[in-house]
Structure 1
């Protein structure tokens, strides 16, 4: 998708019709729009959102129509407020227009109509009006991704905050084709449920009873999963509320230092908990792989006694140490005593009987090999216990450090409670209640996870029983085959999803790291966790807190990386089934506001490489200097937002903005 132009007609402070055309040049892919505070930069960004989705994130969002245009209108005149966007996608050219009509009555009363939206596309010489524009718009640029490609400097840093993981996860699913797989898994699972209901109509009583049990288990699983999703959302909200209170405490005189200390301790505690999880995982793996060695002591000792006895007393037939000697005698046809050995003779059969009691190889060699094996087992057992001891020592040490930090955190809380400030005391009390609530929700989630595991195991067992049931009815057999096909398909798609998700995370991790290192001067590492959280670690591998500017850079690295990766997939000559990708523009309002001089220069130097089209809306102070120096040679289009301030211009008592192209 590439933007060609936007037309704003009496939208907010944009008076009459204002047109901004965007650069589509490969070498000069940057469009710069200059505007001072209050001139309509944020309104311009919201114009995209309103046009595409009918959504606004502005104060007084119901006041869409420009005041000057309403003032100029005569009684019974109609005033149109509209935004139209021309864009192209997959060789199709689109014109999307959303408008609202207002009619001016007597005594300056205004009556507003309902918003209307129209989407027209052209391919070749033909054009067509799309009857259901919402579906087509969401196919091209899904609504839940709008804030990633039309974002402002304040919104951008939210991605790297604690509550941003769900947004990141949804963005990745949409752009990287994972959502298609997710929907396919759900729809196929629904089909399997329908076929099972059919089977009830044709199956025998045992089949019907089993299906009812399966349906009941599926219903319980659905309820638990729904409850779990709700709890996870509550957990995120609670975590966000806790963070807000902690931030307030950081800026209140009297609690600032203590809260900063607590925040540092929280980071240390989080790092220790992460290490403890690693240790527990290692312990599980070690015990799972080598736990049998703990029970080998008696067997090894008994084996050593047997070997010792065999070495002193001999084994099998005295004088004959291996079965290979018997084979040699039979082959030669003569015994060591000189007796002739004929097939099926008495001596021949006797030798075969003796052979049954002898080892296939030399007894001495067998004993040596067996002793070597025993020594290996003993050595492995020793290493196993040493490894266990080392891991347990680390675990105990970390647990001790965890207890100490928790005590220090509790001491800081006590000091905060002792502060002679009603505001601090109130915030600390709220924080403690939220922490208790957070722990309770976590415990409930843990209990639900346990129930889900048990129900899943029981469901799997019932489904196996169902597959064993042989039904005579042809329709029942057909329904059963359909169910099994759906189950196989769901399992296959789930396997593909896991592989695809892991691959996407690895690819995205590499790209985010690459972009992040270009943008941030510190030697920090950015990591995307399995829960799609963006975390930053210092040189000591400890998670670090970030300033607003650093959070902004972190979020920008993610957005830029995912746009770049989607573009790379789209341009592949040979693409996989779920590697559609796409071309996405980056429209940024004030992306440099919270950054220092060095970081502004780094961002300005590299941001144009991440997308085929970059649109930057900036104030003069943000543009001048490092940003202009890095981006001026990349500009394909440039505009100035000229704002009429009614406080300064008495002849025009209404605010309005005009977009003027800079030539």
Structure 2
């Protein structure tokens, strides 16, 4: 899960639509957001948890008051004010655009009324087009990073020491099983139990008494489906009109002298991207075809070796001759002359010896079949080698196409930057208008996604109803089949229990080892973390030769919690390489930390600042000036890829300004408000070369 950007609109302290907070990745994988207490650092942390899971951290005061107060005060009575958070992230070459939105309005008595928050999602695949997902956004998010695990990746550093209080141990055990993939087995077991009950009950489930009710439901669903289709058609038409306007503006850009070359280059790059994406789809289609048609050959060499060995054994035993035919032996006996020229007189020893070969010689068709099979089997090994060569070639081709696509995307982004910064105001305005239209199109497609999801749900419900209506009677054959399925289900439950037990123990020991490594790197104490079978994490002191538990301080508990999170990320990433149970994007994990250094002394702050960026693929730090300056800044400076400052506008009279110097420039942390409202603006920090 790679985070691309976060954007807010009227969310808590943040008035209006903020600029996108773009997150660093790669070698400089750290994004730092500076702000004083009360400026909105915790609000940004909770913007992540709200848009993904509609959850808030314990430190988030008054979570029911989400909409910015300044925007509400400026709105007329009963006028709806929108509040939303948008998050874009990547996983498995797909880009996910996520937006959670709610509205608030005030009445004439200045009472605030909120609407229910709604979640929308768009997904972009290899073809570059945005589509609403076929599944619900909640299901997709929980498959990528389950809600029960979000506290390990989006956390308040000042309260992280509470992770391992005794009353939380059971939750930690369950959450860790989710990351490991053991919960997949648990759900499989529960599913099998439900399937068993369903098999036991299905014979009495349907009957003619239900048919009328089912038909009534079918009619209502068909009416709902028709209304949804009309709404989808309306939005599709609106999107087409916007696309046409966008094309017109693009042509106008081509008419401006100086800009035309940049625009031509951009259009050329976009066209090349489209071709590459089409080729990617075709390559993946061919790869799937290769795997579905020819992958079986890799499993055949061992079987073919056994077959050859079996033929040789039969020949050694004389049960399968090496080419002698019954017809040939019978001809020798009739001619009464041996192959060597000797006379074969009936009832003599010589005659009987030749006659005995009749019992050893196989039928002609059996021998010929064996010879043909033997010839074909000998070619299997070469077929397997050919398959691996084709597979390597297909995968190399796909990899090369992805590299080319990345290059084209980078050049397109550079062309967009040139258009936005071009000195001609008309060109800048046209480019801004194009980007505005693109945003509107994405918004409409996001709305369309909800409609199409409802259409899919209604269609699926109609199919299920049709199947129920078609079933009136269940036969005796189906009863026997259900009994067989019940027996197989019971056996599968027993096997899954055993697999779960072994996997859990193996992973827990590996996790304990990694937590010990990280804790030892950060802490100068001789203590050693121990992880019990129920995932209770304690510190043990063993200097006297006798292991004894230690009453950990607040700082040690914070280090212990950070070590556990780092261990989880490292071990799940490593574990997923050889285990298919882990279904999450285990190669990439972000960490968002709010004030993670508050309870630590100077040495621990430096050690934590050094260790955490190495464990996470992306690190977002929300920090005050005091927490940042000094050892944390020195340890992290070379890893910073993006920086932002939260400028807090205070309505307090005679407010004293505060500032922070970054890259030889001053940025205001606190500034007087000119409209008697408090609010915060997000200011990107310019790099030295900008």
C-alpha change, 1:199 and 1:481, in structure 2 (3 Å) is farther
Match of 2:682 among 636, 659, 662: 659
Contact conserved, 2:35 with 2:41, CA < 8 A, in 1? yes
Per-residue CA deviations over 1:433-461 (Å, capped at 9, x if unaligned) read xxxxxxxxxxxxxxxxxxxxxxxxxxxxx
- Of the three residues 62, 67, 86, the one matched with 1:60 is 62
CA positional deviation for 1:153: 1.8
Q: C-alpha distance in 2, partners of 1:189/1:143?
A: 25
Q: Which runs of 5+ in 2 are unaligned?
A: 206-475, 656-671
How do residues 13-412 of structure 1 correspond to structure 2 at under 5 angstroms?
A: 13-57=13-57, 58-75=60-77, 77-106=79-108, 108=110, 110-124=112-126, 125-130=128-133, 132-195=136-199
> How many residues of Structure 1 are paired with residues of Structure 2 in the alignment?
390
- 1:626 maps to what in 2? 631
User: In 2, Cα distance between the equivalents of 1:74 and 1:581?
Assistant: 46
- Contact 1:569/1:581 (8 A) holds in 2: no
Shift of 1:78: 3.3
1:8 positional shift:
0.9
Find 1:590's aligned residue among 571, 592, 595: 595
Q: Residue 453 of structure 2 aligns with which residue?
A: none
Q: Indicate the larger mover: 581-590 or 528-537.
A: 581-590
Partner of 1:548: 554
TM-score, length-normalised on structure 1? 0.56
Query: What is the TM-score with the length of structure 2 in the denominator?
Result: 0.54
Q: Say whether the 8 Å CA contact 1:176–1:578 is kept in structure 2.
A: yes
Residues 30, 616 of structure 1: 8 Å contact kept: yes
Q: Is the 1:642–1:658 contact (alpha carbons within 8 Å) kept by the matching residues of 2?
A: yes
Alpha carbons of 1:5 and 1:580: their partners in 2 closer, same or farther (altered >3 Å)? closer
Change (3 A) 1:96 1:474: closer
**Contact 1:31/1:636 (<8 A) preserved:** yes
Residue 77 of structure 1: how far off its partner (Å): 4.0
**Structure 1 residue 73: Cα displacement:** 2.6
Distance 1:498 1:100 in 2: 44
User: Does structure 1 retain, via aligned residues, the 8 Å contact 2:10–2:71?
Assistant: yes
2:615 alignment counterpart:
610
Q: Provide the C-alpha distance between the structure 2 equivalents of 1:68 and 1:630, rounded to a whole number of angstroms.
A: 39
> 2: CA distance between counterparts of 1:118 and 1:551?
38
The match for 2:531 among 524, 528, 531 is: 528
Q: Distance in 1 between matches of 2:589 and 2:35?
A: 24
Which string of whole-angstrom CA distances, capped at 9 and with x for unpartnered residues, describes residues 190-248 of structure 1?
333444567999xxxxxxxxxxxxxxxxxxxxxxxxxxxxxxxxxxxxxxxxxxxxxxx
Q: What runs of 5+ residues in structure 1 fail to find an aligned partner?
A: 202-472
**Native 8 Å contact 2:2 2:90 kept in 1:** yes
Matched residues in 2 for 1:176 and 1:561: separation?
A: 12
Equivalent-residue separation in structure 2 for 1:9 and 1:98 (angstroms): 11
Q: Which one has a bigger Cα radius of gyration?
A: 1
Q: CA deviation at 1:651?
A: 2.9
Could you tell me which residue of structure 1 aligns to residue 9 of structure 2? 9
SS across alignment from 1:154: helix
**1:563 lines up with 2:565 in the alignment:** no
Q: Contact 1:177–1:581 at 8 Å: present in 2 too? A: no
Contact 2:15 2:680 in 1 (8 A): yes
SS of 1:19's equivalent? Answer: coil
Cα distance in 2 for residues equivalent to 1:627 and 1:513: 23
- The range that moved more, 7-16 or 480-489, is 480-489
Secondary structure at 2:89 match in 1: strand
| Per-residue CA distance 1:44-99 (angstroms, 9 max, x = gap) | 11111111122234222221111111223345543211111111112111111111
SS at match of 2:548: coil
Q: What is the RMSD of the two structures over their aligned residues, measured on CA atoms?
A: 2.3
Q: Distance in 2 between matches of 1:22 and 1:144?
A: 26
